[in-house]
Amino acid sequence: MEIGEILQRRGILDERQLVMAQQSANGDRLDRVVMEMGLASEEDLLKAFADELGMKYFELKDYQVDKALLAQFPATPIFRNALLPLQRDNGRVLVASADPFDFEAIDELSSLSGLNLEPVLALHDDVVELIKENLGVGGDTINELVSQRAAEDGVELLEEVSEEHGELADMAQTASVIRLVNELLIEALQQQASDVHIEPHETGLVIRYRVDGLLRVQSVPPEINHFYSAIVTRLKIMSHLNIAEKRLPQDGRIKLRITGREIDVRVSIIPMIYGEGIVMRLLDKERMVFRLDNVGLNPTMLKT
């Protein structure tokens, strides 16, 4: 069944809007083009598809995921395809997705888990947010580290780093550890954090972001504890610090470009009871430029 027919029959598009969207598609999927053009919201589209295809639509705000059920699924396809197992229902597992037509991803997850799955629809950002809350930032990369697989992302070091050798230094510079550190920085930037605290405690690693002056604990997968030393070493290398020094405090800096934005990072390494703690101050040059529409003024005041 054509997507255009569904959207027209469900009253999402009239004939003129459908023609406009089809002309703008250029090979892209029609529903995505419709959203980009502002002709319909993601929620309206997903509800229309749910009604037409006999699927369920889930509102995931404040939804409590069955963590015991989630633990039966591999993390990598969940992160890669934005699929979130929610609950059991009549012998099937309901899996939230923002794509009603991604049958291959559902089949892959079913094959890997050995469970019968039923896809349900939910907003993409809500699915991704719940995945992060329940599996932690970098959960897919941790999964790859365990299996020693590499990947790329959008973080670029603007200064050369010195070459370090040794087992721990070599591990710290593997692609997966580099990606994990980058993901922590990207997530902090996306949350508009001013500081990142990485602290070893008796019960494991605690990562906190300072947002609007308040420290917020960041969910991370428990397996990250196995790679804590590699994370510290990677940050020392990036900051041009002595990786062998573990008893004295050290201060350094990193210059990065993250998704096109230049970021200065001030790094402090502090010896603690259970290892070395890290505090990073993120200085985003773009955020230092204040615009009137971004300082909390009432819209009526902006017009005057």
Note whether residue 291 is domain-resident.
no
- State the CATH number of the domain containing residue 143: 3.30.450.90
* pLDDT score, position 148: 44
Q: Which pLDDT tens digit goes with each residue over 12-34?
A: 889 999 899 888 888 888 999 99
Q: Which pLDDT tens digit goes with each residue over 190-218?
A: 888 999 999 999 888 899 999 999 999 98
* pLDDT band at residue 149 using 50, 70 and 90 as cut-offs: very low
* pLDDT score, position 135: 79
How far apart are alpha carbons 90 and 56 in whole angstroms?
14
- State the CATH number of the domain containing residue 102: 3.30.300.160
221: CB partners within 8 A, 6+ apart: 75, 135, 136, 138, 139, 142
* pLDDT band at residue 258 using 50, 70 and 90 as cut-offs: confident
* pLDDT score, position 218: 86
Note whether residue 293 is domain-resident.
no
Total residue count of the chain as it appears in this document: 304
**Residue 182 domain boundaries:** 137-284
* pLDDT band at residue 151 using 50, 70 and 90 as cut-offs: very low
* pLDDT score, position 1: 58
135: CB partners within 8 A, 6+ apart: 70, 75, 78, 79, 219, 221
Average pLDDT for 274-299: 74
Q: Which residues pair with 102 in a beta bridge?
A: none
* pLDDT score, position 146: 46
* pLDDT score, position 290: 52
Residue 35 — φ and ψ, nearest 5°? Answer: -65, -45
CA dihedral over 7, 8, 14, 19, signed as positive or negative: positive
150 and 269 in a single domain? The answer is: yes
Average pLDDT for 170-181: 72
Residue 146 — φ and ψ, nearest 5°? Answer: -60, -35
124 and 171 in a single domain? The answer is: no
231 and 145 in a single domain? The answer is: yes
Q: Which pLDDT tens digit goes with each residue over 131-140?
A: 888 877 655 5
* pLDDT score, position 271: 94
29: CB partners within 8 A, 6+ apart: 3, 101
215 and 201 in a single domain? The answer is: yes
Note whether residue 304 is domain-resident.
no
14 and 74 in a single domain? The answer is: no
- Tokens, residue 28: 């892209």
